[in-house]
Structures are given as structure tokens and as C-alpha cells.
Chains A and B, each alone.
Chain A
């Protein structure tokens, strides 16, 4: 009977026991009846697509790729990956101009930062929004994130790069498009935070967009090209002495750790555990007693923490929560785990806007009830969605940690001179 011990399926979709808990946990299924749900679209549908690709359903585009189904699955079926891979393989229509523009975060960011004030003003004008809505299908309710005039990378080279060599320990920072083009303040906070505990921060030799937006918009070739550049740079950084490659965006981090091998088929097993989120990295260093953070006595805030879906998928949520809770003056309310609904470029598309807002509705309501000073979350698109939908300011935990940090005391606690 040895054959029976060996006859175990290697097909991930066959490990589904049809318990349907994935569909119960899907944010889209109860909102959009056209979406067949993760079980149907995923493991159930995969069998049919193996029989005949015509069983692919264009309605799979309504999947947020939030991976909540995968978190829920008791059998480790990578349901979200199955659905996303099917979309990439079987969708017939080519990505539209709108989708390509939304996905090309690097190219658009580089262009926009050249004349940021004009772009920001233009993108916020209602006639422009009206035209984008009608001609491109970018919903006119959306606010575009403001572009910065000085990219993070420019600031870093001018003001921070040379100072990093003094530290014996080094990390490399994957800043991502958002920090570079829109929100360099977060990158500056990260550099400040790491330097305060005696760790130098480097940039990767070459950094491209992690690719999440390109993958979601089916620009696989382009995403793969960027991913290969990133992986090469990450390997080089680690070989050159960086102890980790850290990110401040949960989605960038998740994409490089899991979507690269699972969706793009790029092997990263040798470096996956070294690609991490700053909060995870810091937490481990604190736990090991390598570093200490000392916070200001006068920092008093009521903060609501929102768990991004990919944060939950990585299992990293406790890192952000415990770090924020370590700030003495912070009263932290952990919000119910509920997708905010934007899912990157998904919520920008006109056809998805109502779904997007309906998914986020319970979250928005809870934030209103909690009435925090501001909201904390590790994902920039969650930030846009919550800021637009609730009017509350949203910050990244790294930003909050730095804001609350007593830099001088921290340096002393970590035995740094002056």
C-alpha cells in the first residue's frame, strides 16, 4: 500500500476541502453579485479551466487580490494566487490606456514630480476630474495623492547618504513609489528612526516599482522586468553587507516576498526572509535586545490602527500594534480587520468605485465611532481611501514612531556618541 502514502496531490487547488470559509471572508462577494466568490473563481474554477479555458470568467476582475481568502483557508490553498494567475493567463482584452497609466507608477511619478504643483492643482480641479471620469474611467470622487517637488531619492542623496557610513550596522530601504514621488516625509522618518538606533540606511543600487499595480493591471512582462531589477539589487545589497531590505509599505513588501515567486514565477527563496517590513525588523531587533527605543513623555495621542489586507496575509500586524503600544502616551484602538476597499488601483476605476466604498463602509463607520486623533496603517492606498472617505488623517507607524521618539535619549540608550 505504499502507493497510497505517495499518492498525495501536488496541486494546490486540490487541497481545497470546499469548506467555503474563503467565500465567507471575501469582501467583494456580498457586495458584488457578479463576482462568483473565491471558492468558485479559485479552486472550483481551476478544474474547469483545465478542461476548457472558456470557463474563465471576465468577472474575476472584481477580485481585489486582498488575499483574505488565503488567510481564512484552513488548507493552505493559495486561492487569491489561483484567481490572479487565471486572470493573467486567460483575460483576452489588452490592458486599457487607463489601466496602463494607473499601473505605471514609476513613469507617471517621474513625470509628475517635475512640475508637481501644476500637476497637483490640475488633478484636483473638478473639470479635469470630470474629463478623467468620462473619458478614462477614473472615478471623479477620487483624490489623487499629491506629488512632491523633491523626490525622496533626491533628498536622500543630498542630505542623508554621506552620513550613513558612520554606522556599523546597515540596512537597505525599499522606499517604493509612494515615498519617492508623493510622501518623502515617511522616508525621512525611517532614516531618522534607524539612525537614532545606530543603523545606517542605504538605497538599493536600482529600485523599480515593486510591480503590484502592473500585476493587478496584467502588465506581466513589465512587472517581471521591474521585479528582476529589484531582485538583482536586493541580492547585491545583501551581499554588500545590508542585514535586511526593509520597506515601509506592506504591499510592496508582500509583493516582493510572495507575488514574485507565486505569480511571476521568480524564485526568491534565498532572500525572501531578508525582505521585510521596517516594523517587523525593528520589533525583532528590540526583542533580541539589539536596540532600544525611547519615547517622548509629552506625546499623547489617541490612535486607531487599521490592518491592511496584505499586512494580515504576511502575519505582520502584531509588529505594528506592539510597537505603537510601546509608546507610553498612545492610546491605541485596533480596528476590526476589514478591507478598506481601495485595493490599489482597483478603487480608482470608475466601475469599481461603488464596490470599493461599500466594502470600506463598516471600517469608515468604526473610525467615526472611535474618533481618534488620527489613524495608523502600513499601506499607502489604505491611507488614501481612509483619508478620502472619513476625513481623518492617516499615518504610517514608522512616521508615528519617529514623531514620538526622543531622539537624543534613544541615541544614548543605544550607546551612540553625541
Chain B
């Protein structure tokens, strides 16, 4: 057993946007922070959603409070996370089968929530977004955009560390250190070191573990009733649309198409699933059918565009405290002080909410931490201070596709990417233009020690071929850092299998041909057929 020799003000559990945001907020306020993640950052719902910068319009009619939170955070994120956000704009379209009268209700609700929504001529909408269904009978323009949750989370982690936070990935909280009715720290298992037990102590522990927060609360002896809701999405091979397209009707399945980076994503479905399935989400053929059938109504071009993969995330829906049956679900932010609620000192749960409101959730949680520490003089600055990479950009002209892509991904931090030599600039992932230099940078600064980490930091293996040639190239670079060939062969097998998991539901046509080719390379040529794939490492 190992005990970290430092005592922290706060330990944050969960490496999603909320946990990373909370760690950053705490660190910026000068608290001593430890951020703990079970596997890798963005491994949960943060890395498995639309990447939509909601204007809030989607909630305007049904949930005014969420809508207002969304538009406020939307405006803040455009400022502080400029490099993670793309101002694509959004449309809410009415199809002949939809009720056009709803448009009026919708626009009024948006305006009441402070969202700039403007009904426009369908002809103008078709001109603005040629990919949109030409049959539309109505269109409303809203300030939607796209946001890259991987970049957003890593920028928060980066800044937290810059301000003194300690970061542990692949450390799973298995128990708490407690004295009477007070949580005084956590017991963790280090997945990377033979399951070694590690302990750390703190005045306050924040549970920011998304759907897994339900289990972490249970472990602490308190109950936060959550319901896992599975949402499935499809990623298309290139951008069909450049403006977010939504359906102007009550929220339903597959009614948002978001252009993000090089691809576009249609989603989602929404189904309650049992807790024992949350670590094993797979998209079913029926879900693929629904997504495709409904998606084509938004943009007919999707029908003849290659699908790269399908994925599913789990939303943590939280039952209102006054109705533990779960019939009344709150979609808003839930920030619980278990001392006043359950008599358990030193423990906070922050949950509910959305990717869009991660910063506000972090602010609320950090405010609560400060109250518990008696340091309410520490004020939140995250609504004003830009995230690393999103500081104002110098206008440096970039030559190679790799440097342009890296600039897009890392913003002003891209200056840290080595690019002096031809080998630095050589491409590892050709679909997504990831250079050797970018990988070296990720290994050095972005907590990378396996291929999946690398994918989430750089988009390696996220393009058309889903990791056909880049995987062995990247693995060779990682291998140079530790010389542990055997581990990296397992790593390749894990990565390729993880990619296949997402391709399988859409494996037909070109995707099938490509996958077959990939399997020859890794199975037959590289001899990885008999390698164990380490699911735990994902």
C-alpha cells in the first residue's frame, strides 16, 4: 500500500468535463487539488455525446431553467474555450409532417429564455445549409455550435495542473478513508501498477463521476438515485452539413445533426438501461436503423454518405430528492452537500446537468467546497479566464496540413509541438493529420501512455480508416518511451478491438471492406490475432 504524502484540500473523483472543470476551478482559487480518474479522461459520457454547443433552444419549451443555463454557458464557452468551439450556427427545421404551429411556441419560448431565435424563410435556410432537407416548410436560426469535449476536458486538466493540481489517471476509487461520519480521503486501486492500493487524504471529496457517481455515493453510504439513459449516435465520414440541424418539435430520437471537426454526428436515441450494463454499451442494429431513418429526414445526403462508427454514452439522470421513485427526473444541475442532506461530512456530489453546463456545475461544486473549507473569500474566475489553448491567437501562417490540423486541435498550445525536423512533421495518422511531433507533445504534456489516450488527445485513429496504419506507427513512438514491447502489442490489440466495437454496428459497404483490410494487417501480417485485448485499459 502506498500513501500519498500530501494532504489535499479537495479530491475530485471523475475525469470527465465536470471533474476536470471542478479541479480547475479549485486550483484557480488556490486550493490544493487531487483529480482522480478511474481510466482515462473523457472515458464516460463526456467522450460519448454529440459535441453540440447547445444554444438551449432544444429545452426552451420544456425546461426553461436548463435553456437559460445553456445560453448563458454557451456565451461563456465561446469566450473562454474559443479553441474548442466552432461557431457553426444552428437551424431548427420544420418538415411537412411536423406541426408548423409549434414553431411560434418555440420561438417565443426561446426569446423568453434569452436565446436569439429568428424564424427565417425556408429558402434562405436551404441557401445557408445546402445539405438540409429541401422539403422544409419552416426554419429557425439559433446560436448553436459545436464543441469538442476531448479538447475542452484536456484544457481544463492542463490548466488545473498548471495551477498546482495533482492528477492521477487509471486510479479507481474503491473505498473511502473515514472517521465516524466524516470522509477524510479515498482508497484507490492503481490499474497500471498491478492493482496497487493508493491512499490520499483531503478535507473534502467531490463525487463528479457521472453515472458512476451513483455507485460511489452508495459506497460512501449515501444514496443519490440515478437512472442510466443510453444515447446512441452515428459518426459520418465527412461533414455533410456545416450548420447544426435540429428538428423543430418536442425533443425526440435522432433529431440533431452536428458538424464536428472532420465529421458529422447524428443522434441520439434515449433508453433507460440497467446499471450493470453501463460499462458495456453497444449500439444495436435497431438503433442504427432509427438514427439513419430519422437522420435522413434532416439531411438526405446522409443516406449516401459513409458511416464511420456508432457509439453510445450514458446520461446520468437524477431523481429529484423529493421523489426517489424516479418518476420526476430533473435535467438540471444537482449539487448535494451530504453533510446537510445525509449527515456525512466532507463529501459532495455534483451531477445531473450537461456537457454545456460543466463549467457552472464546477463553479457550484467549488463554491460548496469553499463553504465547507470556510474559505468563501475565494471567488470563481472561470467565466472570464480563457482556457489554455484558447488565448487570443497569433496569426502565424501554417504550411502543412499537419500543422493546420494541430493548430485546430491545440490552439495556441500548438507552439509546443515540435516541428523543426522532417521527422517531427511526418504524419502518423494520415486521415486526421497527426504528426510525430504532436504525439511527442501529447506524451509529454497530455497524460498519454497508451493509444486510446492518444486518440482522445489528438484524434489519432478517429478518421476514415479508424486506425489502419497509424496504430502501429504511433505504438512504435510510444514504445520508444518505455521499451516495453509486449505491453504495446497488447495496447494495439486493445485499440483495434475498441475501434471494431464501434464499426461493427455499421459494418457494411466501404467500412466493411476497409475493416477487412485492417484485420489482415493486424491479424495476419502483424500476428495480433492471439493477443489479449485489455478491456480494462480503455
Chain A residues with CB under 8 Å of chain B are 1, 3-11, 14-20, 33, 36, 39-40, 43-48, 50-51, 54-55, 57, 75
Q: Are A14 and B306 in contact (CB under 8 A)?
A: yes
Cβ contacts A to B, 29 pairs, < 8 Å: A3-B288, A3-B292, A3-B293, A3-B303, A4-B289, A4-B508, A8-B508, A9-B237, A9-B304, A10-B304, A11-B237, A11-B304, A11-B306, A16-B464, A17-B514, A17-B517, A18-B468, A18-B514, A40-B401, A44-B464, A45-B401, A46-B238, A47-B237, A47-B239, A50-B238, A51-B238, A51-B239, A51-B262, A55-B404
Do the beta carbons of A1 and B289 come within 8 Å of each other? yes
Q: Which of B100-108, B425-433, B450-458 contacts A (4 or more CB under 8 A)?
A: B425-433
B422 within 8 A of A: yes
In the complex, A55→B405 CA distance in Å?
8
If the complex has contacts A7-B303, A11-B306, A20-B469, are A55 and B401 also in contact, measured as CB distance less than 8 A?
A: yes
Q: What residues on A are CB-neighbors of B464 within 8 Å?
A: 14, 16, 18, 43-44, 47
User: Cβ of B304 and Cβ of A8 under 8 Å apart?
Assistant: yes
Q: CB distance B239 to A18 under 8 Å?
A: no
6 nearest CB pairs, A to B = A18-B465, A9-B306, A10-B304, A14-B306, A17-B514, A47-B238
A7–B513 touching, CB < 8 Å: no
Q: Kindly state the separation between the CA atoms of A98 and B239 in the bound complex, as whole angstroms.
A: 38
- Binary contact readout B292-318 vs A (1 if CB under 8 angstroms, 0 otherwise): 110000000001111100000000000
Q: Which of A16, A43, A48, A54 has the most CB of B within 10 A?
A: A48
Asked if A36 and B292 make an inter-chain contact with CB atoms under 8 angstroms apart, the answer reads no
Find out whether the CB atom of B289 lies under 8 angstroms from the CB atom of A3: yes
Residues of A within 8 A of B399 (CB): 57
Within 8 A of A (CB), among B420-460: 422, 427, 430-431, 433
A199 to B404, CA, bound (A): 59
- How large, as a class, is the contact surface on chain B? 35 or more
Whether B509 pairs with A39 at a CB distance below 8 angstroms is no
Decide if A14 touches B238 in the complex (CB within 8 Å). Answer: yes
User: Is A44 touching B431 in the complex (CB atoms < 8 A)?
Assistant: yes
List of A residues within 8 angstroms of B303 by Cβ: 3, 6-7
Interchain CB contact (< 8 A) of A51 among B261, B400, B517: B261
Mark interface residues in B10-32 (1 if CB within 8 Å of A CB, else 0).
Answer: 00000000000000000000000
CB atoms of B431 and A47 under 8 A apart: yes
Across the interface, name the chain B residue whose C-beta is closest to A44.
B430
Contact residues in A for B306 (Cβ distance below 8 Å): 9, 11, 14
Q: Are A36 and B431 in contact, CB atoms less than 8 angstroms apart?
A: no
- Across-interface contacts of A20 in B (CB, < 8 A): 469
CA distance A16 to B306 in the complex (A): 11
Cα of A40 to Cα of B464 in the assembled complex, Å = 12
Q: How far is the CA of A40 from the CA of B238 in the complex (A)?
A: 15
A-B contact sample (11 more), CB < 8 A, given A18-B464, A19-B517, A50-B238:
A4-B508, A5-B508, A7-B508, A11-B305, A11-B306, A18-B465, A18-B469, A47-B463, A48-B433, A50-B262, A57-B399
Report how far A289 CA is from B488 CA in the complex, Å: 65
CA of A10 to CA of B262, assembled, Å: 18
B262 to A18, Cβ gap below 8 A? Answer: no
A58: nearest chain-B partner, CB-CB: B399
Supposing A7-B303, A11-B305, A47-B262 touch, asked if A17 and B513 sit within 8 A by C-beta, the answer is yes
Residue from A7, A19, A40, A44 within 8 A of B509 (CB atoms): A7
With A6-B303, A7-B303 already in contact, the answer to whether A15 and B400 are too (CB < 8 A) is no
Q: B370: shortest Cβ distance to chain A, in Å?
A: 42
Residues of B within 8 A of A14 (CB): 237-238, 305-306, 464, 510
> Within B25-57, which residues are at the interface with A (CB < 8 Å)?
none
B468 CB to closest chain A CB (Å) equals 5
Q: Which residues of B contact A3 (CB under 8 A)?
A: 288-289, 292-293, 303
- Contact between B237 and A40, CB atoms less than 8 A apart: no
B285 nearest CB neighbor, chain A only? A1
Q: Which residues of B contact A18 (CB under 8 A)?
A: 430-431, 464-465, 468-469, 514, 517
A33, closest chain B residue (CB):
B422
Q: How far is the CB of A390 from chain B (nearest CB, A)?
A: 33
Contacts of B405 in A (CB 8 A): 48, 55
Chain B nearest CB: distance from A35 CB in Å?
Answer: 12
Q: Which residues of A contact B431 (CB under 8 A)?
A: 18, 44, 47
Shortest A18–chain B CB gap in Å is 4
Chain A proximity of B462: nearest CB distance (Å): 12
Q: What's the minimum C-beta distance from B397 to chain A, rounded to whole angstroms?
A: 10
A1 to B505, CA, bound (A): 11
A7 to B400, Cβ gap below 8 A? Answer: no
Contact partner of A7 (CB less than 8 A), chosen from B304, B401, B517, is B304
Q: Chain A residues with Cβ under 8 A from B259's Cβ? A: 51
1/0 contact string of B135-161 vs chain A (CB within 8 Å): 000000000000000000000000000
Determine the chain B residues whose CB is within 8 A of the CB of A8 once the complex forms: 304, 508-510
Task: Name the residue of chain A whose CB is nearest to the CB of B465.
Answer: A18
B residues 221-238 touching A (CB-CB < 8 Å): 237-238
Bound state CA distance, A45 and B306, in angstroms? 16
| CB proximity of B482 to chain A, nearest CB, Å | 28
B261: chain A residues within 8 A (beta carbon): 51
Which of chain A's residues have a CB closer than 8 A to the CB of B288?
A: 3-4
Which of B303-350 touch A at CB < 8 Å? 303-307
Q: Which residues of A contact B513 (CB under 8 A)?
A: 17, 75
Find B430's partner among A4, A39, A54 (CB 8 Å cutoff).
A39
Q: Which residue of A lies closest to B507 (CB)?
A: A4
A16 partner residues in chain B, CB cutoff 8 A: 464
Q: What distance in Å separates the Cβ of A367 from its nearest Cβ neighbour in chain B?
A: 33
CA A182 – CA B400 in complex, angstroms? 42
Beta-carbon contact of B430 and A7 below 8 Å: no
User: Which residues of A lie under 8 Å from residue B517 when comparing CB positions?
Assistant: 17-19
A81 nearest CB across to chain B (Å):
17
Find out whether the CB atom of B463 lies under 8 angstroms from the CB atom of A54.
no
Say how far B264's CB is from chain A's closest CB, in angstroms: 10
- Chain A nearest CB, measured from B471 CB (Å): 12
Asked whether B427 lies within 8 Å of A40 as measured between CB atoms, the reply is yes
- The answer to whether A36 and B237 touch (CB under 8 A), given A44-B430, A47-B463, is no
Looking across the interface, which residue of chain B has its beta carbon closest to that of A20? B469
Chain A residues whose C-beta falls within 8 Å of the C-beta of B509 in the assembled complex: 7-9
- In the assembly, what is the distance between CA of A7 and CA of B514, in Å? 16
| Cross-chain contact B510 with A15 (CB below 8 angstroms) | yes
- Which residues of chain B are within 8 angstroms of A43 by Cβ–Cβ distance? 464
Q: What separation, in Å, do the CA atoms of A221 and B25 have in the docked complex?
A: 58
Report chain A residues within 8 Å CB of B304.
Answer: 7-11
Q: Which residues of A contact B285 (CB under 8 A)?
A: 1
Alpha-carbon distance A15/B517, docked complex (angstroms): 13
The interface residues of chain B lying within 8 Å CB-to-CB of A9 are: 237, 304-306, 509-510
Residues of A within 8 A of B510 (CB): 8-9, 14-15, 17, 75
Q: Which residues of the other chain, B, contact A46 by a CB distance below 8 angstroms?
A: 238
Chain A residues with CB under 8 Å of B506's CB are: 4
- The answer to whether A36 and B468 touch across the interface, beta carbons within 8 angstroms, is no
Contacts of B293 in A (CB 8 A): 3
CA distance in complex: A259, B9 (Å): 69
Residue of A nearest to B261 (CB): A51
Least Cβ–Cβ distance between A47 and chain B, in angstroms: 5
When distances are taken between beta carbons in the complex, the residues of chain A under 8 Å from B238 are 11, 14, 46-47, 50-51
B305: nearest chain-A partner, CB-CB: A9
The CA of A9 and the CA of B305, in the complex, are separated in Å by: 4
Please give, as numbers and ranges, the residues of chain A lying within 8 Å of B292 by CB-CB distance. Answer: 3-4, 7
Q: Which A residues touch B430, using CB under 8 A?
A: 18, 39-40, 44
